[in-house]
Amino acid sequence: MSQTVQTSVTSVDGEQGEPKVVRGLEAKNIHAWFGKHHVLKDVSLRFPERTVTGLIGPSGCGKSTFIRLLNRMHEFIPGAAMAGQVLQDGHDIYSPEVDAAAIRLKVGMVFQKPNPFPAMNIRENVLSGIKLAHLKVADHDAIVESCLTRAGLWKEVKDRLTATGGSLSGGQQQRLCIARSLAVEPSVLLMDEPCSALDPGSTLRIEETIKELVEKIAVVIVTHNMQQAARVSDFCAFFLADGGPGYLVEADATKKLFTNPSDTRTADYVQGKFG
Amino acid sequence: MSISPSVQATPEARELSVIFNRADRIFRRIVTAGALTSLILLGLIGTFLFVRSAQIFNDRGLKFITGSNWTAGSGDGIIPDDFSIGPMLTGTILVSVIALVISMPLAIGGALFVEFYATPKVRRVLTTLLDLAAAIPSLIFGIWGVVFFSSYGERWSDLLNSRFGWLPFIKVQNEVFGRSPFVAGCVLASLITPIITSVSREVFSRTPRDLVDTCYALGGTRWGAIKTVVLPFGKSGVIGGAMLGLGRALGETVAVYLLLNIVFRYNFRILESEGGNIASLIALKFGEATEYELKALVAAGFVLFLLTLVVNMVAASIVERSTRRR
């Protein structure tokens, strides 16, 4: 059941030939366990640069587990184990000599619930990653402005950067979290149902933000909202777990997956027949 | 205040009534009674102490607190009774503060280790042990402290004196160590560290998981996550734990009674072999006290009672302020 997102190029290993060469992130034959519980079986997916990949599927099919594997957040859960490889520009991020913290700088993450650091104001929140990772930066103000701008929040908060993150609305808080992730300049941003706690208006703003982000980086978004996947993603991957561990049913260009999927289960799911 | 006549007056807010069913009513009475009981007990203790010691405050006024003598009179009026608790009051605070200064870093460090660095197995064992240690009677600590710290404490005191003797509160007049407020503070520290650690660990473990995850996701280390999220989140809880410990230290009797030479002189040099606290004074004098002296002891108890109340109130307001800011 291992499939790869169809792209124009198949070579990895950092070869730089034609301009459309895919560097980016690739998962190869990923398995995951919590204790003895096998939760994810043989998933292979590629996330090309400057694309949005949507991960869809019913609850409990391992989508969140999968994206936590992509930036080594999986290992924080007690009893968590994995097999397979995650390649970033051709290098296995699970090699023993790799510093997981450095990987997480390159592969950022936005969580389901908007969670700005409560003890910090807006500006400090944006800069928190730089402080946490001890990055040397010349111009803090420029970073605050550019990150908030990219996250689509600058105009709304530029006059109150010293207000606490908690004083913002839910949608604004989530965009602040996106800005916070951008400050350490990741090349991939993982989003785990970033809009599930937001109202439709805020959801739309986040989706616009995602479309702008993808001009520079790759975005991987887990969502339960099929319309959202159809709206924002270039590629889509459909996960399923029928009793056993979750697996990848089908991955393809979003348009094809929604209009002409190769698997009947995908067709049933995207048409809302189950899930 | 409005200038234009109000045609349609804003309606009064309606009174909303609540109907409790029978089970609710009964349960409500039980919990109300429970809450009231502790309040009433506190009030009764305070009143009892005050009534029994009123004569002392009446006779001696503020001098009871500021004076530094505890002399029982001869009874015939030739040598008058002279009771005051100044040095014991400052001694109480001094020993407790020493204990707190020593135990806080240990407790916070220990709690962070258990929660964030220990393996799950070690964490389970340590958590149980800590909660157990928090429940060990202070007498046990007192006896252990006398045996253990009278030798080690002397060495540490010597070291402190030779390195930091230039600090006024560490300097000693004659270099006889042991039985000092410092040693008593060490014993009290070992007595209160488990409870502070236990409470701190509990608070740290409540840190929202996604905030900690966010720190890691931003390329942070464990220490980064602790500094950025865990400590700010747990601050008020740690203060609460510290106040629990401080309350225990303020009222600690046996350990101090066994360890300190109770001397009625103001002493702020922590290595000097003299000191005492209110609780140990009461334990020391209670057995052979005359009727008037007994009243003085009750008055000392009343002062201690007030001191703990004030400490707790200050702590509560600190906790409240630090949580409100969020």
pLDDT in tens, B149-188: 877 888 888 888 888 888 888 877 777 777 888 888 988 9
As a whole-number percent, the residues of chain B with pLDDT over 70 amount to 96
Degrees to nearest 5, angle at CA A160 with A155 and A163:
130
Task: Give the per-residue pLDDT at A15.
Answer: 45
CATH 3.40.50.300 fits A25-270, yes or no: yes
Q: Which residue of B has its CA nearest to A68?
A: B217
Tell whether the model's pLDDT for residue B112 goes beyond 90: yes
Who's near B48: CB < 8 A, 6+ residues apart? Answer: none
Indicate which of A68, A106, A132 best probes the interface with B, i.e. most B CBs within 10 Å of its own CB.
A132
Note whether A111 contacts B216, CB cutoff 8 Å: no
Task: Give the per-residue pLDDT at B2.
Answer: 53
B84-105 pLDDT tens trace: 889 999 999 999 999 999 999 9
Please check whether residue A74 is in contact with residue A84, taking contact to mean a CB–CB distance below 8 angstroms: no
Note whether A184 contacts B218, CB cutoff 8 Å: yes
Indicate which of B211, B218, B227, B229 best probes the interface with A, i.e. most A CBs within 10 Å of its own CB.
B218
**Tokens 């169809």 sit at which residue?**
A6
DSSP letter assigned to residue B10: P
Q: How far apart are CA A162 and CA A180, in angstroms?
A: 15
Q: Could you tell me which of A232, A161, A168, A167 has the C-alpha nearest to residue A195?
A: A232
Q: How far apart are CA B59 and CA A177, in angstroms?
A: 66
Q: Which residue of A has its CA nearest to B120?
A: A78
Q: Which of B120, B214, B219 sits opposite A111 (nearest CB)?
A: B214
Q: How far apart are CA A178 and CA A83, in angstroms?
A: 30
As a whole-number percent, the residues of chain B with pLDDT over 90 amount to 40
Residue ranges, chain A, pLDDT below 70: 1-22, 275
This model of the complex carries an ipTM of 0.85
Average pLDDT over residues B118-126: 92
Chain A residues within 8 A of B218 when measuring between CB atoms = 104-105, 108, 128-129, 132-133, 180-181, 184
List the CATH code of the domain at B82-324: 1.10.3720.10
Sign of CA dihedral B91, B94, B100, B106: negative
Of A227-231, B46-50, B261-265, give the lowest mean pLDDT range: B261-265
Q: Which residue of B has its CA nearest to A125?
A: B228
Note whether B219 contacts A101, CB cutoff 8 Å: yes
Task: Give the per-residue pLDDT at B324.
Answer: 60
Task: Give the per-residue pLDDT at A16.
Answer: 46
Q: Which residue of B has its CA nearest to A124?
A: B228
Please check whether residue B219 is in contact with residue A102, taking contact to mean a CB–CB distance below 8 angstroms: yes
Q: How far apart are CA B325 and CA B319, in angstroms?
A: 10
Q: How far apart are CA A202 and CA B132, in angstroms?
A: 50
**Tokens 């929202």 sit at which residue?**
B208
Task: Give the per-residue pLDDT at A236.
Answer: 95
* Interstrand relation of A107-110 and A188-192 (parallel, antiparallel or unpaired): parallel
Note whether A181 contacts B218, CB cutoff 8 Å: yes
Task: Give the per-residue pLDDT at B268.
Answer: 84
Cite the DSSP H helix spans in chain A: 63-70, 100-106, 122-132, 140-150, 154-157, 170-182, 200-213, 226-232, 254-259, 264-270
Q: Which of B216, B225, B233 sits opposite A73 (nearest CB)?
A: B216
Chain A residues within 8 A of B120 when measuring between CB atoms = 78
Note whether B233 contacts A118, CB cutoff 8 Å: yes
Q: Which of A109, A113, A117 sits opposite B217 (nearest CB)?
A: A109
Task: Give the per-residue pLDDT at B275.
Answer: 84
Note whether A118 contacts B232, CB cutoff 8 Å: yes
| Closest chain B C-alpha to A33 CA, distance in angstroms | 17
Token pair, residue B28, equals: 């409500």
Q: Which of A10-14, B143-147, B208-212, B263-267 has the highest mean pLDDT?
A: B208-212
Q: Could you tell me which of A231, A192, A224, A232 has the C-alpha nearest to residue A65?
A: A192
Note whether B210 contacts A115, CB cutoff 8 Å: yes
How many other CB atoms are there within 10 angstroms of residue B148's CB atom? 14
Residue ranges of domains in chain A: 25-270
Q: Could you tell me which of A24, A83, A13, A67 has the C-alpha nearest to residue A48?
A: A24
Q: How far apart are CA A104 and CA B88, in angstroms?
A: 57
Q: Sorting pLDDT into bands at 50, 70 and 90, what band is B46? A: very high
Q: Which of B208, B210, B218 sits opposite A129 (nearest CB)?
A: B218
Q: Which residue of B has its CA nearest to A185?
A: B218
Q: How far apart are CA B81 and CA B69, in angstroms?
A: 10
Task: Give the per-residue pLDDT at A13.
Answer: 44
B215-231 pLDDT tens trace: 999 999 999 999 999 99
Tell whether the model's pLDDT for residue B316 goes beyond 50: yes
Q: Could you tell me which of B300, B309, B249, B307 has the C-alpha nearest to residue B86?
A: B300
Task: Give the per-residue pLDDT at B3.
Answer: 63
At A231, the amino acid letter reads: R
Who's near B185: CB < 8 A, 6+ residues apart? Answer: B94, B95, B96, B97, B98, B99, B101, B102, B270
Residue ranges of domains in chain B: 22-62, 82-324
Task: Give the per-residue pLDDT at B323.
Answer: 66
| Closest chain A C-alpha to B322 CA, distance in angstroms | 10
Note whether A117 contacts B219, CB cutoff 8 Å: no
Q: How confident is the prediction for chain B on average, in pLDDT?
A: 87
**Tokens 């930091």 sit at which residue?**
B164
How far from chain centre, in Å, is Cα A121? 25
Indicate which of B214, B222, B223, B321 best probes the interface with A, i.e. most A CBs within 10 Å of its own CB.
B214
Q: Could you tell me which of B81, B201, B83, B78 has the C-alpha nearest to residue B131?
A: B201
| Closest chain A C-alpha to B205 CA, distance in angstroms | 14
Return the bridge partners of A191, or none. Answer: A110, A221
Average pLDDT over residues B271-278: 84
Chain B residues within 8 A of A133 when measuring between CB atoms = 218-220, 224
Question: How many Å is the Cα radius of gyration of chain B?
Answer: 26
DSSP letter assigned to residue B16: P
Buried b (16+ CB within 10 A) or exposed e, B20-42: eeeeeeeeeeeeeeeeeeeeeee
Q: Sorting pLDDT into bands at 50, 70 and 90, what band is B62? A: confident
Note whether A133 contacts B211, CB cutoff 8 Å: no
Cite the DSSP H helix spans in chain B: 22-60, 63-66, 86-112, 120-133, 138-164, 181-205, 209-217, 222-225, 231-250, 254-259, 278-285, 291-324
